């Protein structure tokens, strides 16, 4: 018989005991005061590193295409060619132009975005995604898992936090998830009865392994399997993953648009899901970024449609102010003129981040860069330095009511896991100016 560890109890009837053990093994928290202004987060991950000059910090320069159509509205200088629909949400839009990254390589930059930590091979297996941390801290009540992710490969996941907080990665299609129910054995009711009987037999046969799993992978699988079971043959869950042709037309018949619809449905349902990672790939535009196909034009159009429609619908149901929308990539792109291939290369010294809703005070720009977007000229906040990924992560945690200064000892190696390294010493913290 294998000895049970804390991680083995993160499912089934032992969940309450696991929570007590987790709390007992929390150390180092400064009991920071959180903002607690948001109930959910929709994180648009612009995978590949978007150019700040060609998205949220455009400049008048010879590098722009002829149809750039630069305009100004209040503090915003923007391209009407790229984000025509987002302009109607300017009163809610917060642009951060004094952000910077630590990394200029995709994999390492993505790791920072997903975790708020640098990528250390020795610790990567004990560094969960921020969505899993939020799920762990806010609880997992409801039929849906707290963390959902779309279109992402190389996702970090929950790691040692356990199967209850692993991301659900569903397809985003108008027909929904076809495996949530079936009528292979007569009617739906007959099929469900047979399914329940078989699942009961499985639980009886697996009981010894569920009580004392052979390893962490088995424990994680068992926890996630139990949650998946609760979603079966449930009309409420089924409808969350379905949407109409009209919705698809408004949001966009593409990966980012369809994922945003499912996120909207889940937020409306208020049935457990609170962190949504929506990845939009294609931003690694080293070559001919102003041509047909995957280009600045298609990427910004698809993002503009999805974010604008999501904001519209959340406002219509009164859930916009409690939903934090974050839009960012792993780094910026080289400033000024395009490279010899008509694109831009990796650049970590400057990047732009956009936020809407979730209690953030919109209609503002924080920070500024020089005429070519090569250096930060105004930080725009009390830290008087660039806003780093840790500061963005701390701000997300604070908005969700999560103490960003916490640390845990309950890792497989027994090494301390800090929610954010350096936060307990005050090196990184939420940017108060985001809230105004």
What mean pLDDT value characterizes the chain?
Answer: 89
Confidence of residue 1 (pLDDT cuts 50, 70, 90): very low
Q: What is the pLDDT of residues 346-393, one digit of tens each?
A: 999 999 999 999 999 999 999 999 999 999 999 999 999 999 999 999
Q: What pLDDT, on the 0 to 100 scale, is given for residue 14? A: 35
Total-model pTM: 0.89
Amino acid 26: pLDDT: 60
Q: Which of 246, 247, 250, 267 is nearest to 318 (CA)?
A: 267
Q: Out of 3.40.190.10, 3.90.550.10, 3.40.720.10, 3.30.2450.30, select the CATH number for domain 6-177+234-435.
A: 3.40.720.10
Is 70 exceeded by the pLDDT of residue 434?
yes
Q: What's the CA gap between 396 and 76, in Å, rounded?
A: 23
Confidence (pLDDT) at 200: 76
CA distance 51 to 285: 9
| Residue for token pair 């642009």 | 95
Q: How many helices (H) and strands (E) does the chain have?
A: 10, 16
The radius of gyration of the chain from alpha carbons, rounded to an integer in Å, stands at 22
Strands (E), 60-183: 70-73, 76-79, 93-99, 147-150
Q: Which of 48, 77, 79, 125 has the alpha carbon at shortest distance from 285?
A: 48
Structure tokens at 154: 């190389």
Single out the residue of 329, 368, 326 nearest to residue 348, CA to CA: 329
328 phi, psi to nearest 5 deg? -165, 165
* pLDDT at position 189 over 90: no
Q: What pLDDT band is residue 141 in, cutting at 50, 70 and 90?
A: confident
pLDDT value of position 164: 87
Where is mean pLDDT largest: 8-17, 45-54, 226-235? 45-54
Domain boundaries, the chain: 6-177+234-435
Comparing 5-9, 288-292, 372-376, which segment has the lowest mean pLDDT? 5-9
Q: Is the pLDDT of residue 415 over 50?
A: yes
pLDDT (tens digit, 9 = 90+) per residue, 249-285?
999 999 999 999 999 999 999 999 999 999 999 999 9
Higher pLDDT, 158 or 26: 158
The fraction of the chain above a pLDDT of 90, given in percent, is 75
How many Å apart are CA 310 and CA 267, to the nearest integer? Answer: 11
Residue predicted with more confidence, 189 or 129: 129
pLDDT at 25: 57
E strands, 155-308, in order: 275-280
DSSP state, residue 13: G
């Amino acid at each position: 018989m294998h000895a049970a560890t804390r991680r083995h109890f993160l499912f089934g009837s032992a969940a309450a005991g696991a929570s007590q053990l987790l709390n007992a093994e929390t150390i180092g928290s400064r009991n920071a005061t959180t903002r607690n202004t948001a109930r959910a987060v929709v994180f648009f991950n612009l995978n590949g590193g978007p150019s700040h000059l060609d998205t949220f910090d455009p400049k008048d320069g010879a590098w722009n295409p002829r149809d750039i159509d630069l305009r100004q509205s209040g503090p915003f200088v923007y391209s009407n060619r790229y984000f025509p629909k987002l302009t109607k949400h300017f009163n809610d839009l917060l642009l951060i132009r004094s952000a910077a990254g630590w990394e200029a390589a995709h994999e390492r930059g993505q790791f920072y975005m997903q975790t708020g930590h640098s990528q250390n091979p020795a610790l990567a297996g004990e560094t969960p995604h921020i969505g899993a941390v939020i799920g762990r801290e806010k609880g997992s009540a409801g039929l849906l898992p707290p963390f959902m992710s779309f279109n992402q490969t190389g996702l970090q996941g929950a790691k040692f936090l356990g199967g209850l907080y692993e991301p659900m990665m569903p397809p985003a299609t108008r027909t929904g998830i076809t495996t949530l129910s079936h009528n292979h054995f007569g009617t739906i009711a007959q099929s469900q009865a047979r399914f329940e009987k078989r699942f009961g037999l499985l639980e009886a046969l697996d009981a010894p392994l569920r009580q004392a799993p052979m390893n962490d992978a088995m424990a994680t699988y068992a926890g996630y399997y139990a949650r998946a079971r609760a979603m079966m043959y449930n009309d409420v869950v089924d409808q969350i993953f379905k949407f109409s042709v009209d919705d698809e037309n408004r949001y966009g018949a593409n990966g980012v648009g369809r994922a945003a619809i499912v996120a909207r449905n889940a937020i409306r349902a208020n049935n457990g899901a609170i962190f949504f990672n929506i990845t939009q790939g294609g931003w690694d535009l080293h070559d001919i970024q102003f041509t047909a196909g995957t280009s600045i034009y298609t990427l910004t159009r698809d993002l503009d449609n999805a974010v604008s429609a999501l904001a519209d619908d959340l406002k219509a149901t009164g859930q916009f102010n409690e939903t934090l929308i974050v839009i960012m990539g792993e780094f910026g792109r080289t400033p000024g003129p395009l490279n010899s291939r008509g694109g831009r290369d990796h650049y970590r010294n400057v990047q732009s981040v956009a936020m809407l809703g979730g209690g953030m005070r919109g209609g503002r720009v924080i920070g500024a860069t020089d005429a070519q977007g090569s250096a930060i000229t105004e930080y725009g906040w009390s830290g008087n330095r660039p806003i780093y990924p840790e500061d963005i992560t701390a701000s997300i945690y604070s908005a969700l009511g999560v103490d960003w200064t916490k640390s845990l000892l309950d890792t497989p190696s027994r090494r301390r896991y800090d929610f954010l390294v350096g936060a307990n010493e005050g090196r990184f913290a939420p940017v108060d100016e985001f809230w105004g």
